Homo-oligomer: A and B are copies of this chain.
Amino acid sequence: MSENPAVAIVEPKTPGNIGTIARAMKNFEMDDLKLVNPPEFGRDSDAYGFAGQAREDVLPNYDEVTFDHLVENYHTVGCTATTNEDARKHRRFPFKTPAELADSLRDVDAPTCLIFGREDNGLNNDEMAKVDEVCSIPASEDYSSLNLGQAATVTLYELRELTVSETQHPDVERERAPENEIEGFYEHFAEFLDTIDHPAEKREKTTRLMRRLLGRAHPTVREVRTLRGVLRRASYHAADESRRGGE
């Protein structure tokens, strides 16, 4: 994507939901908020109360627009809990899940707008007929309707790999200990089994078990070194013990 998607809310009734969505936009680096026929809300409303740091920029910078303005100027994605059952009806079918949407928008260079509907009944059939794509969050068939703010949060979250330049997370790949450190631990562990007279017929199996356990956990350098420190100290005491036993 060349620019991050705009986010539009059609006729929201609750200022709190506007604030919630503005906050999620800032969490996932979107900043272009469009409102179709919004309620009035001031600085002391729930819109500002729920917006977190988005109260400083995303929220006050919103544009009031018409639905048709969105259709005419953007590649539009209509978000809805209610999809059609199958291909016999086309307003809400086929649809993409948010994860599928993220995949497909990766290569789209056009200005894109995600459109969310009213708290009580979402986007109506006329509106759905005008959007370019349908997006729907998979949820329990017993209760598939997420709250507006929550649905938008999940959708924006799923687009994060397209929109967020740097997350707060360190580069985790880098943190797995180098393979030679980890192998060094396994050797150390085998020696340790020797030191503590672990039954010879069990040693291979126990070493393999440790390899599986640590392999799954992707240990950091610090974890590997701490474990080796424990082994070293335990070996020292075990050796000491056998010396004492030999006295």
Residues of chain A touching chain B, judged by Cβ–Cβ distance below 8 Å, are 20, 23-24, 26-29, 50, 52-54, 81-83, 85-88, 90, 93-95, 97, 136-147, 149-150, 153-154, 157, 160, 164-170, 172, 175, 218, 220-223
28 contacts between A and B (CB under 8 A): A23-B146, A23-B150, A24-B146, A27-B139, A27-B140, A27-B150, A28-B140, A29-B140, A52-B143, A52-B145, A54-B143, A87-B175, A88-B222, A90-B222, A94-B175, A94-B220, A95-B172, A137-B157, A138-B168, A138-B169, A139-B160, A140-B164, A140-B167, A141-B166, A144-B168, A150-B150, A154-B154, A157-B157
Contact, CB under 8 Å: B164 / A139: yes
Minimal beta-carbon separation of A178 from chain B (angstroms) = 12
Cα of A218 to Cα of B157 in the assembled complex, Å: 25
Contact, CB under 8 Å: A140 / B153: no
Q: Is the interface of A mostly helix, strand, loop or mixed?
A: loop
Contact, CB under 8 Å: B146 / A167: no
Q: A20-B150, A90-B222, A221-B87 are in contact. Are A27 and B168 (CB under 8 A)?
A: no
Contact, CB under 8 Å: A138 / B154: no
Cα of A138 to Cα of B168 in the assembled complex, Å: 7
Contact, CB under 8 Å: B142 / A29: yes
Cα of A237 to Cα of B91 in the assembled complex, Å: 29
Cα of A164 to Cα of B93 in the assembled complex, Å: 22
Cα of A94 to Cα of B97 in the assembled complex, Å: 30
Q: Which residue of B lies closest to A160 (CB)?
A: B138
Q: A81-B168, A140-B27, A166-B141 are in contact. Are A87 and B220 (CB under 8 A)?
A: yes
Residues on B with C-beta less than 8 A from A144 are 27, 167-168
Contact, CB under 8 Å: A27 / B146: yes
Residues on B with C-beta less than 8 A from A175 are 86-87, 93-94
Which among B93, B97, B222 is the interface contact of A87 at CB below 8 angstroms? Answer: B222
Minimal beta-carbon separation of A220 from chain B (angstroms) = 3
Residues on B with C-beta less than 8 A from A82 are 168
